[in-house]
């Protein structure tokens, strides 16, 4: 694991001590699942960090480990079969993986909250939304039923649900998809956490509602100065909201960059492939581009760079040596802050 150790320092300068500790820092995180067929390595040494008010977008295909990383941060990974053999998850400098169950439970919801993809199945069908929103206050703050209901109405108004007072006793199935996602957001926001992890919050919604929900999330984030980790496979959603992007492939971060730089000049062939896959209006009539092949089987990750079987630029070194996430610089050697690429040929990719 010498290569991973080297990469641990790359994406951002290390924090000196607990005083200037980052809001959340994930260091060299590994997650594996022990299945009948072997060990599936879902996350293989992920490093990223989020500061207050900052939005980190984690981009990747299904199975790239982006959601598993989020679940590990939340502590809602099913263990077993899941296992975290290595790594640290630091919340304000404290490693959450070494905390007791109770300590972690107190962080969940109050300090770090999560928004799920499918709001209908993430809301309890037999309880009214008002009850479920109010539950946050009753459990964590010990408010009475009445106070909790008032707070629930307030929250629903904050996420712009019309006629909140009348609808507070409604059940999840009586809301539209967009409204349900707003309720999920309201629930995550209830205790004004420092960090919100949104796991594909708009995937189940149609495009117009997607934009509304993302705008709402962005507004609320600015209002409360929260950190936001946005997990998505939708490059369009990311562009407007994120500050920086981490692209994941087969459980590793293959590229990090400030949001606009990534779109302008990707430094990894996988990122380039993703960007080229976006359908463009001016190329009407042509065949759509797709990255050839399939995401790797996590039980048998290819040797060397995991992307090599699909990579148009792959050479012999790619099949033998795992590329480290190295800082990316301009052709003249001047630094590009926040940029990193895990490709042996990043120079050719970004400048070529």
Partner 1 sequence: MPDATKTQTETEAVADATAAPSAATGKTQDKPRSLWGDAWFDLRHRPMFWISSILLLILLVIAAFPGLFTGADPRDGDLTNHFLTKPELGHFFQPDWFGYDGQGRSIYARVIYGTRASILVGVGVTAAVTLVGGLLGMLAGYFGGWLDSIISRVTDIFFGIPFLLGAMVVLNAFADRKVYVVILALAFLGWTSICRVMRSSVITAKQADYVTAARALGAGTSRILFRHVLPNALAPTIVVATIALGGYISAEATLSFLGLGLADPTISWGIDIAEGSQAIRDNPHALLFPAGMLSLTVFAFIMLGDAVRDALDPKLR
Q: In the bound complex, what is the minimum distance in angstroms from residue 279's beta carbon to partner 1?
A: 30
| Count of residues that interact with partner 1, criterion CB under 8 A | 32
Q: In the bound complex, what is the minimum distance in angstroms from residue 168's beta carbon to partner 1?
A: 10
Q: What is the DSSP letter of 37?
A: T
Footprint (CB under 8 A) of partner 1, residues 201-240: none
* 125 is a site residue for partner 1 (CB under 8 A): yes
Contact string 47-86 vs partner 1 (x = CB under 8 A): ---------------------------x-x----------
Instruction: Establish how many alpha carbons lie within 13 A of residue 163's alpha carbon, considering only the half-sphere containing its beta carbon.
Output: 5
Helix (H, G, I), strand (E, B) or coil at 72: helix
Decide whether 119 or 291 has the Cβ nearer to partner 1.
119
Q: In the bound complex, what is the minimum distance in angstroms from residue 161's beta carbon to partner 1?
A: 14
* 164 is a site residue for partner 1 (CB under 8 A): no
| The one among 88, 94, 110, 212 contacting partner 1 by CB under 8 A | 110
Which spans in the chain are helix H? 2-7, 66-74, 101-107, 119-122, 129-141, 145-158, 164-167, 177-189, 207-224, 235-241, 259-264, 269-276, 316-320, 346-351
* 174 is a site residue for partner 1 (CB under 8 A): yes
Candidates 41-49, 102-110, 154-162, 313-321: pick the segment binding partner 1 (CB under 8 A).
102-110
CA atoms of 123 and 128, how far apart (whole Å): 9
Decide whether 122 or 329 has the Cβ nearer to partner 1.
122
* 33 is a site residue for partner 1 (CB under 8 A): no
Candidates 38-46, 120-128, 249-257, 322-330: pick the segment binding partner 1 (CB under 8 A).
120-128
Ordered DSSP codes for 262-325: HHHS-SSHHHHHHHHTS--GGGTTSPPP--SS-PPPTTSPPSSSTTGGG-TT--HHHHHSPPP-
Query: Which among 139, 217, 216, 205 is positioned nearest to 175, based on CA atoms?
Result: 205
Tell me the residue length of the chain. Answer: 352
| The one among 8, 92, 97, 171 contacting partner 1 by CB under 8 A | 171
CA atoms of 241 and 281, how far apart (whole Å): 22
Candidates 86-94, 104-112, 241-249, 299-307: pick the segment binding partner 1 (CB under 8 A).
104-112
CA atoms of 207 and 178, how far apart (whole Å): 10
Decide whether 44 or 128 has the Cβ nearer to partner 1.
128
Q: What is the DSSP letter of 124?
A: -
Q: In the bound complex, what is the minimum distance in angstroms from residue 285's beta carbon to partner 1?
A: 41
CA atoms of 48 and 248, how far apart (whole Å): 11
Cα-based distances in Å from 190 to 147, 195, 225: 13, 12, 14
| The one among 28, 61, 157, 170 contacting partner 1 by CB under 8 A | 170
Q: Which residues bind partner 1 (CB under 8 A)?
A: 74, 76, 105-110, 113-114, 116, 118, 121-128, 135-136, 139-140, 169-171, 174, 184, 187-188, 190
């Amino acid at each position: 694991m010498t290569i991973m150790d080297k990469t641990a320092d790359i994406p951002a300068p290390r924090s000196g001590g607990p005083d200037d500790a980052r809001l959340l820092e994930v260091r060299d995180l590994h997650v594996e699942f022990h299945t009948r067929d072997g060990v599936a390595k879902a996350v293989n040494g992920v490093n990223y960090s989020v500061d207050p008010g900052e939005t980190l977008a984690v981009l990747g295909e299904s199975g790239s480990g982006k959601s598993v990383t989020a679940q590990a941060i939340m502590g809602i990974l099913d263990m077993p079969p899941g296992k975290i053999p290595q790594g640290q998850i630091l919340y304000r400098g404290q490693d959450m993986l070494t905390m007791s169950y109770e300590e972690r439970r107190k962080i969940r919801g109050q300090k770090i909250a999560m928004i799920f993809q499918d709001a209908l199945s993430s809301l309890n069908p037999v309880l009214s939304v008002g009850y479920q929103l109010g539950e946050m206050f009753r459990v964590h703050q010990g408010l009475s039923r009445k106070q909790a209901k008032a707070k629930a109405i307030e929250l629903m108004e904050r996420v712009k649900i019309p006629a909140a007072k009348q609808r507070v006793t409604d059940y999840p199935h009586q809301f539209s998809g967009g409204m349900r996602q707003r309720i999920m957001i309201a629930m995550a926001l209830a205790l004004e956490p420092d960090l919100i992890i949104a796991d594909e919050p708009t995937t189940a919604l149609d495009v117009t509602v997607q934009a509304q929900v993302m705008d709402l999330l962005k507004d609320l984030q600015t209002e409360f100065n929260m950190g936001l980790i946005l997990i998505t496979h939708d490059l369009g959603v990311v562009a407007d909201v994120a500050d920086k992007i981490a692209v994941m492939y087969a459980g590793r971060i293959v590229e990090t960059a400030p949001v606009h730089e990534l779109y302008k000049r990707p430094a990894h062939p996988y990122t380039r492939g993703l960007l080229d896959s976006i359908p463009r209006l001016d190329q009407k009539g042509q065949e759509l581009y797709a990255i050839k092949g399939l995401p790797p089987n996590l039980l048998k990750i290819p040797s060397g760079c995991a992307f090599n079987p699909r990579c148009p630029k792959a050479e012999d070194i790619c099949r033998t040596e795992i590329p480290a996430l190295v800082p990316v610089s301009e052709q003249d050697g001047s630094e590009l802050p926040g940029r990193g690429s895990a490709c042996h040929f990043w120079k050719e990719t970004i400048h070529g």
